[in-house]
Structures are given as structure tokens and as C-alpha cells.
Amino acid sequence: MSERTIAVWQGKVRIRVLSKGSGPALVFFHGPWGLTWDPFLDELARTFTVYAPEHPGTTPDTPDDVYHLDGLWDLVLCYDELLKGLGLESAALLGHSFGGMVASEVAAAYPDRARRLALIAPLGFWRDSERVVNWMMLEPARMRAQIFRDPEGEAARRMFGGTDDSEAPAARVRLMWAMGTTGKFIWPIPDKGLKKRVHRITAPTLIVWGKEDRLVPPVYADEFAQRIPSARVQIVDGAGHAPHLEQPAAVARMVADFLKS
């Protein structure tokens, strides 16, 4: 795996990009809990050149860079500059949760940048009757239980570390800041107008949802499928809000098969 840091937004926002693999370009936008390189990305790197940028403010030693962005429009423009910085005219775009919303926004703003689009439990819409749970207001143990089908499983440990607190302060700071910097763009309700823009997406789109998602209920897959004409939905058994971590092999296969075709 290699890494490089690209400065965008007149040099004020520094974004570290982890990358690995060879083949067509795939850009992965991580969720609200920060970027961790995991077996799912490793699996994708067998087929693609995977680029995984860190959300502004979550790259080490750049916490305050996020203050240069006022809102979602600024963020989308930043990612446009980042793709330019990576030398990518277009790429397969993939995102999880908050990152799924970002990928959708980029694909709606710049339809030609998205060759194909895969969204894993993306945010972006809201139903009063099926509310997205605000994970930022949950005690750590409850947040885990809300995100993962198995809160004690390998996937949960990978995202949040073990239950013993030996590394707690640093890990807690990292997690809180990742949630804070992503939360800046979605508080208090993660519906920031994607419904007005989503029709602009032209890329063939795959929607992946964990069957037991207790954070963003799987009914939201319908919201995306209804609005993106080319979209098809795949529900993953044995997974909650992070199906790519709870069922990495299966989800990597379905995502890779879709994105390479």
C-alpha cells in the first residue's frame, strides 16, 4: 500500500490518499468513523487501483483543515480537485454510509467523473417514518450495537478497536474527530438536498445494503433505486450498517463484479 497527500482548496485542505493495486481506478469514500485499510479494500485491490482518500480533517496533523469548508458544495468541489490531483478524469466511485452520500453528490455534480457507482448503505435521504439513527448521540457500546450485526465481531473490532481500553484516549480522539468532521456536512438530519440532484447521475449504479442495518434501515435502498433509473439493489445477509466489513468477501465480489463490467 502506498500513500500520498494532495493539497486542494488553494492548498488549505490536505487530503491523504491510501492506494493499492493495479487495474482500473476505483475511488473509495469512507464512512463517518474514519478510514481504516481493511480486507475489503485489499480484495478490491486485486482487480482495481484503489484510491482511498481521507475525509478533510481526518488526515493526521491536519485537524483544522476542515474549517476551510463551509458546506457540502465546498466539499464536492474539493473532491473534484482531488480527482484532478490524482490525474483521474473518471473512475469507479464507491462509498460507504457518509462516503456513499459523498460519492453520490460527486456523481451528481460531475456525471462524467463517475464511470460506475457503488453505494454501500449510503446516507442522503430521510423518511420521517424510518428515521436514520443519529450515531453521534449514542454511547460507544450502543453505537457499536447499532452499526454491526455482531457488535463483538471482528468487523466491529476493526473499526473501533477491542473492548479493552488500553489505547483509548488516542483512538477516542480519532473517532470523535472523524464523526465531527463528517457530521459537519449532515447535522442534524442527513438530507442535504441530494433528492434535488440525484437525477443527474448517469453512471450505472449498484446499491448494497445489510439486511440487518439498524442505523440506516434497508428501506432507504428503495429511495435510491427509485431515483436512479439504472440502479439495482443487492441486500446482504448477515450484516448491519457495514456489510463490507461484516461480509467482506461477498461484498467485495459483488462490488468488483459490478464495477469492472
Partner 1 sequence: MKISAFHLMPHRELPDDFEQRYESVWVTPPWWELADARRVGQYYNWTLDELIYAARAGFDGLCTNEHHQNAYGFMPSPNLMGGVLARATNGMNVAIVQMGATLPTSNPPIRVAEEYAMLDCISGGRLVAGLPLGSPMDVNLCYGITPMEHRERYREAFALTLKAWQAREIFPWNGRYYQLANVNLWPRPIQQPHPPVWVPGSGSITTFDFAVDNDVCYCFLSYSGAKSATTMMQSYWDVVAKKGREPNPYRAGFLQLVAVAESDARAEEKYARHVEYFYHKCLHVPGIWFSPPGNQDYRSLVASSKNPVRRPENPKDLRYRDFVEKGYVIAGSPATVRDRIKQEVIKNLHVGNLMVLLQIGSMPHEVALENIDCFAREVLPDLRPIWEDEGWVNHWWPERLRASTAAPRGASVAAAGA
- List interacting residues with partner 1 (CB under 8 A): 63-64, 66-67, 70, 136-140, 169-170, 172-173, 176-181, 183-184, 187-188
Amino acid identity, residue 135? Answer: W
Closest distance of CB 208 from partner 1, Å:
26
Cα–Cα distance for residue pair 56/71, rounded to 1 Å: 12
- Comparison of 32 and 204: residue with beta carbon closer to partner 1: 32
- Comparison of 87 and 188: residue with beta carbon closer to partner 1: 188
Closest distance of CB 160 from partner 1, Å:
14
Query: In the 8-state DSSP scheme, what is residue 86?
Result: T
- Comparison of 21 and 34: residue with beta carbon closer to partner 1: 34
- Comparison of 4 and 187: residue with beta carbon closer to partner 1: 187
- Comparison of 92 and 175: residue with beta carbon closer to partner 1: 175
- Contact (CB, 8 A) for 97 and 125: no
Closest distance of CB 80 from partner 1, Å:
22
- Comparison of 174 and 214: residue with beta carbon closer to partner 1: 174
Phi first, then psi: give them for residue 25, nearest 5 degrees: -75, 135
Closest CA to 132 of 73, 207, 218, 199: 218
- Comparison of 22 and 163: residue with beta carbon closer to partner 1: 163
Closest CA to 246 of 237, 258, 254, 255: 237
Closest distance of CB 176 from partner 1, Å:
5
Cα–Cα distance for residue pair 153/26, rounded to 1 Å: 28
Size of the chain in residues: 261
Closest distance of CB 195 from partner 1, Å:
19
Cα–Cα distance for residue pair 121/209, rounded to 1 Å: 5
Closest distance of CB 137 from partner 1, Å:
6
Class of residue 178 by CB neighbours under 10 A (exposed 0-12, middle 13-18, buried 19+): buried
Q: DSSP states of 191-221 as a string? A: -SSHHHHGGG--S-EEEEEETT-SSS-THHH
- Contact (CB, 8 A) for 203 and 93: yes
**3-class state of residue 140 by DSSP:** helix
Cell representation of residue 18 = 491510501
Closest distance of CB 112 from partner 1, Å:
31
- Contact (CB, 8 A) for 111 and 202: yes
